Amino acid sequence: MEPDFYDTDDLVAVLTTQPLDRLLDYRAPEGGCAQGAFVQVPLGPRQVLGVIWGPGQGNFDPAKIRPVTRVLDAAPMRDEMREFLIRAGDYTLTPMTQMLRLATRAPGLSDPPSMQKVYRLGDTDPDRMTDARRRVLNVLNDYGGLSFTLKELSDMAGATSSVVKGMVKQGAVREEQAPRDTPYPPMDTDRRGNALTDGQAEAAGRIAEGVRRGGYGTTLLRGVTGSGKTEVYLEAIAACIAAGRQALVLLPEIALSEQFLARVEQRFGAKPVEWHSGVTMTERRRAWKMVGQGAAQLVVGARSALFLPFRDLGLIVVDEEHDTSYKQEDGVLYNARDMSVLRASIAGARVVLASATPSLETWANADAGKYDRVDLDARFGAAVLPEMRAIDMRAEDLSPGRWISPSLARAVTARMEKGEQSLLFLNRRGYAPVTVCRACGEQIGCDHCDARMVEHRFLKRLVCHQCGETKPLPEACPSCKVEGKLAAVGPGVERLAEEVAVAFPEARAAVLSSDLFTSARALKQAIADIAEGDIDIVIGTQLVAKGHNFPRLTLVGVIDADLGLQGSDLRAAERTFQLMRQVAGRAGRAETPGEALLQTHQPDHPVIRAILTGDEEAFWSAEAEARRLAGMPPYGRLAAVILSATDEAAAFRAGQDLARRTAPLAAISAQVFGPAPAPIARVRGRHRVRMLVKADKGVALQAAMAKWVGQLRPDRDLRVAVDIDPQSF
């Protein structure tokens, strides 16, 4: 048992965010410090951030132990968070120092309060307008009234801090003390929400009752798009806040949050606290503190919000729980959906997993009785599910370089005549996925990755979707040097937009693809324009598949329904099913029925058939049975090791080395596959080799993996990452 408080000069063990594999001993500062306090400690010549983890261990020379420099102005880490970090670290095989970094994402946490200055728009124009000054003003204008730290502002404007300081002198920029601890306006849970339908009321009642009762529990809230899932979980949030506890809503996409924020404001008379990469550092620091003091009642955020220091977390909602972006694929490899369940079970909180197309993992947990399941069966009001039909492309008359079949074109025209919107869905960014030389057959690839470069005509460049590398489209083929023979092959959304312009010259068209927007704001604006009805034809990627409300959209045309069915990924069927159902769900709301047309070359493929009939239970049961027979997740367990090195042979050698020393895995009867090139075989000049481990459920997989991988002797070049529950297999 740790004491709650350490007196001046007591020995304390500090966990820092530095890559060390042990705790460090210090002396408690003048005035003592609390267990869990966030502190600054000296480490060599530097000052680093840490947390008082427990009593000192005394395995250092007592004469050399230095005192803690300063206790930071933040609520001490609660036992609950500490346990979460330990268990999440154990699960993902991540060192504690790295876990702590996730929990201390508050920028400026280690700055003393007096250093926190922020900058906002001043009252006068600068005396002389330079480009750098104009950029500073643009940033301040764009974010209407928000203030930034010096570093934020200069980074965003691409100007040096002395430019900003100079503008302060002239009065063009105002320097102020950072607003500290300004409370958020309270949420009013007594306001009336919408009158719920019987089905919604029953679902809301069941979930809210769990929230009021307190204690851990997870509910799958399943319902087609538009059935009122958001409406239902807003009531659970109301119950949570009314009980004096805090609620967290995770959304898969920042662009989604705008509509949600507006709904929260409408329901509770105040906006929730936002937490994602688009929030300024000043606001994030405020959010981090307020959440810790229990003064933030509702947080809406990206997966990292799970590591906020909630004082009394009562409810976590994971919206679109099947979304693959909940898996963090960089740094700490965790799935925010699974970690929500862990966090809630420690905090004694409820979890709501909401989806129209749950992941097979969640479906199976509900099937096994581990999760409660609540279904909303009908769409709200008169709205009905879109009618879904296949367009058999084998029977369509289509010239080469064209992708909109005559049948689909007729349907689009019919909608335009009625003043309704159509969505053409193609999950491919850019102009063309492949650029090939007609002289030698060479396909232009990325110099750093094992990926083809995608032509983006809008940017006038070739882009690697793996690493982001771009280069101008060359005149001559890089291989055979013949000029003028490079040709675009296959469609991307930009190319589809060209076809739309030709086929529907009067139509107002908009392309919705993440790379075409320079800022989250521009994207939000485009989404708002579509919702207002200023657009006839929306051409979109995956971005549009996610819960936006477009009331006048009544037709969805899927350009290539077969796209996701290719490839060897065992999840391909599940993904395609989810994506097609989600996209189709965009069509038809309120009183206007929708229609979804799927262009396919294989209308009899079982997955396409399941999509068309919409018999979800049958689809899930069949998919579950296939996974069960194969011993694959969620009925078996998988883990992967990614070995990466600049020298491909070295990565393979490390893999072969591991393949020879599998005793720790044999002990749990696990199978080992590989080494083989990883699904993404080369990224940023590093070759990636993957080993896949398959085990039964219920074995101590992490311990065995740690032992197994621990046999590798790391060197300068070789990097090793363990991925528990990999997304693709």
Binding mask 359-378 for ligand ADP (x = CB under 6 A): --------------------
Is 33 marked as binding a ligand?
no
How many other β-carbons are positioned within 10 Å of the β-carbon of residue 6?
Answer: 24
The yes or no reply on residue 357 touching ligand ADP (CB under 6 A) is no
670, 697 contact by CB (below 8 A): no
Q: CB under 6 A: which stretch of 135-143, 194-202, 463-471, 686-694 binds ligand ADP?
A: 194-202
The yes or no reply on residue 492 touching ligand ADP (CB under 6 A) is no
Among 76, 210, 217, 223, binds ligand ADP (CB under 6 A): 223
258, 527 contact by CB (below 8 A): yes
The yes or no reply on residue 380 touching ligand ADP (CB under 6 A) is yes
Q: What share of the chain is helix, strand, coil (3-state, %, to 5)?
A: 35, 25, 40
Is 240 marked as binding a ligand?
no
Which residues within the stretch 512-551 sit at the binding site for ligand ADP (CB under 6 A)? 547, 549
Q: Residue 446 binds which one of ligand ADP, Zn ion, none, with CB within 5 to 8 A depending on kind?
A: Zn ion
708, 662 contact by CB (below 8 A): yes
The yes or no reply on residue 229 touching ligand ADP (CB under 6 A) is yes
Q: Residue 197 binds which one of Zn ion, ligand ADP, none, with CB within 5 to 8 A depending on kind?
A: ligand ADP
Is 449 marked as binding a ligand?
yes
3-state secondary structure 564-631: HHCCCCCCHHHHHHHHHHHHHCCCCECCECCEEEEEECCCCCHHHHHHHHCCHHHHHHHHHHHHHHHC
Q: Shortest approach of Zn ion to residue 332 CB, angstroms?
A: 23
Q: Determine the Cα–Cα distance for residues 183 and 509; give it in Å rounded to an integer.
A: 43
Q: Is 214 left (phi over 0), alpha (psi -120 to 50) or beta?
A: left
Size, binding site for ligand ADP by CB under 6 A: 16
If you write DSSP's letter for every residue of 287-348 in order, what string do you get?
HHHHHHHT---EEEE-GGGGGS--SSEEEEEEETTT-GGGB--SSS--BHHHHHHHHHHHHT
Q: Residue 194 binds which one of Zn ion, ligand ADP, none, with CB within 5 to 8 A depending on kind?
A: ligand ADP
Is 437 marked as binding a ligand?
yes
Q: Residue 449 binds which one of ligand ADP, Zn ion, none, with CB within 5 to 8 A depending on kind?
A: Zn ion
- The four Cα atoms 193, 197, 201, 202 give a dihedral, to 10 degrees, of -170
Instruction: Name which of 319 and 469 has its Cβ closer to Zn ion.
Output: 469
Task: Name the token pair of 265.
Answer: 């404001």
Q: Residue 227 binds which one of Zn ion, ligand ADP, none, with CB within 5 to 8 A depending on kind?
A: ligand ADP
Q: Residue 148 contacts by C-beta under 8 Å, 6 or more apart in sequence?
A: 118, 119, 120, 139, 140, 156, 280, 281, 282
**DSSP letter (8 states) at residue 532:** H
The yes or no reply on residue 231 touching ligand ADP (CB under 6 A) is yes
Among 29, 108, 217, 226, binds ligand ADP (CB under 6 A): 226
Task: Name the token pair of 484.
Answer: 């003028």
The yes or no reply on residue 446 touching Zn ion (CB under 5 A) is yes
Phi/psi at 639 (5° precision)? -145, 150
> For the chain, what is the largest distance between any 2 Cα atoms, rounded to a whole number of angstroms?
86
Q: Give SS3 for 187.
A: coil
Q: Residue 466 binds which one of Zn ion, ligand ADP, none, with CB within 5 to 8 A depending on kind?
A: Zn ion
Q: Residue 18 binds which one of ligand ADP, Zn ion, none, with CB within 5 to 8 A depending on kind?
A: none
Which residues within the stretch 459-488 sit at the binding site for Zn ion (CB under 5 A)? 464, 466-467, 469
The type of residue at 524 is K
Among 199, 210, 217, 228, binds ligand ADP (CB under 6 A): 228
637, 699 contact by CB (below 8 A): yes
Q: Residue 255 binds which one of Zn ion, ligand ADP, none, with CB within 5 to 8 A depending on kind?
A: none
The yes or no reply on residue 194 touching ligand ADP (CB under 6 A) is yes
The yes or no reply on residue 106 touching Zn ion (CB under 5 A) is no
Binding mask 196-225 for Zn ion (x = CB under 5 A): ------------------------------
Among 48, 74, 449, 523, binds Zn ion (CB under 5 A): 449
Q: Determine the Cα–Cα distance for residues 722 and 673; give it in Å rounded to an integer.
A: 14
> Which residues line the annotated binding site for Zn(2+)?
437, 440, 446, 449, 464, 467, 477, 480
Q: Which residues here bind Zn ion, judged by CB under 5 A?
A: 446, 448-449, 464, 466-467, 469
Q: Which residues here bind ligand ADP, judged by CB under 6 A?
A: 194-197, 200, 223, 225-231, 380, 547, 549
